[in-house]
């Protein structure tokens, strides 16, 4: 490798790493020199490097020191320059740490990992969702994107924050949407329904443009925009207004049902309410399949056929191979 290529390769790394590499080279070089100049006092290169490190960081322990004039001269030069380099490096390292932490808090640092969850929008729903996910799966990697926040609201929880417009490629690439496994796009309910849904669909199109295979969950406020969200490639659509109105309607007919529904959903652990493939139960009745699953502590409550969901079908209802069984793992 030519010197120019080596310099170019090193220049790609942060200044702190470059300076650290330089200090390592200086310490090894000084150790080698001390071994050559004082072979009796420093019989191996390792002994020389040990002396260089101790001298640079603590001005020596006094257990080993050069005895010849040449050795002392080299040591004097090294003490003046080596110790200064070490002090400067530690100050630079501390400064870099402070700058990095500040950039993380302000949402300026790009995310570097993969297979993570990206949450778009900061509101009460996204806050509760993130905290619920982390309480059940503390190791889950989550990236939050929002343009209104100035600081990371969940930095202590380990959530990575990206500040910017989620409808722009630059922002989504900083969140590394290209390697994400799921993207959740929430609605800003402080704007009009039409404006919010248009922004959601624009963000969805941008996400799919970067990573067509990523699983996307979008919150839509207006029923009229559901078709557009489907056209844009949404894998799952949450119509929050419809969910809320359904709960309200049931509460009118059955007082207290909203509290029961909320408690039921809250107490369900992740993957406890799930869809199960029905290939192994093809042409069997709902009653027979329910009994088989019940023996495995699995409660079947419905069947999804295509886009239709049949809740608690009749006992004679025949299961087809393409069906999905709605089950609760007890």
Q: Would you say residue 142 lies in a domain?
A: yes
Burial of 99 (0-12, 13-18, 19+ CB in 10 A): exposed
Q: Say if CB 214 and CB 177 are below 8 A apart.
A: yes
Q: Which tokens go with 105?
A: 């808090």
Give the model confidence (pLDDT) of 208-222 as tens digits: 999 999 999 999 998
Same-domain pairing of 223 and 156: yes
Which of 85-89, 122-126, 246-250, 302-306 shows the lowest mean pLDDT across its residues? 85-89
- The upper half-sphere exposure of residue 202, i.e. CA atoms within 13 Å in the direction of its Cβ, equals 12
Rounded to an integer, what distance in angstroms lies between the CA atom of residue 330 and that of residue 293? 11
Residue that is last in its domain, among 225, 244, 263: 244
pLDDT > 60? residue 9: no
**Domain range holding 90?**
3-105
Q: Would you say residue 258 lies in a domain?
A: no
Q: Tell how strand 142-146 and strand 160-163 pair up.
A: parallel
DSSP SS3 for 124 = helix
Same-domain pairing of 234 and 301: no
Burial of 142 (0-12, 13-18, 19+ CB in 10 A): buried
Same-domain pairing of 239 and 153: yes
Give the model confidence (pLDDT) of 71-108 as tens digits: 788 777 777 776 666 676 666 666 666 666 666 777 88
Same-domain pairing of 174 and 93: no
Q: Which residues are paired to 274 by β-bridges?
A: 327
Q: Would you say residue 256 lies in a domain?
A: no
């Amino acid at each position: 490798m030519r010197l120019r290529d080596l310099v170019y390769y090193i220049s790609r790394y942060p200044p702190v790493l470059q300076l650290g590499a330089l200090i390592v080279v200086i310490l090894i070089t000084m150790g080698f020199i001390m071994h050559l100049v004082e072979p009796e006092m420093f019989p191996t290169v390792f002994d020389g490097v040990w002396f260089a490190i101790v001298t640079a960081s603590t001005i020596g322990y006094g257990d080993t020191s050069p005895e010849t004039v040449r050795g002392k001269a080299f040591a004097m030069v090294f003490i003046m320059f080596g110790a200064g380099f070490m002090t400067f490096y530690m100050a630079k390292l501390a400064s870099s740490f402070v700058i990095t932490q500040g950039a993380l808090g302000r949402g300026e640092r790009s995310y570097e990992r993969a297979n993570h969850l990206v949450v778009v929008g900061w509101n009460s729903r996204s806050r509760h969702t993130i905290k619920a996910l982390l309480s059940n799966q503390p190791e889950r990697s989550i990236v939050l994107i929002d343009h209104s926040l100035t600081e990371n609201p969940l930095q202590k929880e380990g959530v990575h924050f990206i500040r910017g417009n989620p409808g722009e490629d630059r922002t989504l690439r900083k969140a590394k949407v290209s390697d994400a496994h799921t993207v959740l796009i929430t609605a800003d309910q402080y704007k009009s329904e039409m404006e919010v849904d248009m922004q959601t669909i624009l963000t969805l199109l941008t996400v799919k443009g970067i990573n067509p295979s990523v699983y996307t969950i979008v919150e839509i406020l207006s029923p009229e925009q559901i078709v557009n969200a489907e056209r844009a490639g949404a894998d799952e659509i949450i119509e929050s207004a419809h969910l809320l109105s359904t709960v309200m309607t049931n509460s009118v007919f059955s007082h207290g049902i909203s509290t029961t529904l909320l408690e039921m959903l809250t107490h369900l652990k992740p993957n406890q309410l799930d869809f199960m493939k029905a290939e192994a139960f093809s042409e069997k009745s709902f009653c027979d399949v329910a009994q088989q699953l019940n023996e495995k502590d699995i409660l079947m409550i419905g069947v999804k056929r295509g886009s239709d969901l049949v809740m608690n079908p009749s006992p004679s209802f025949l299961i087809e191979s393409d069906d999905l069984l709605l089950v609760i793992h007890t």
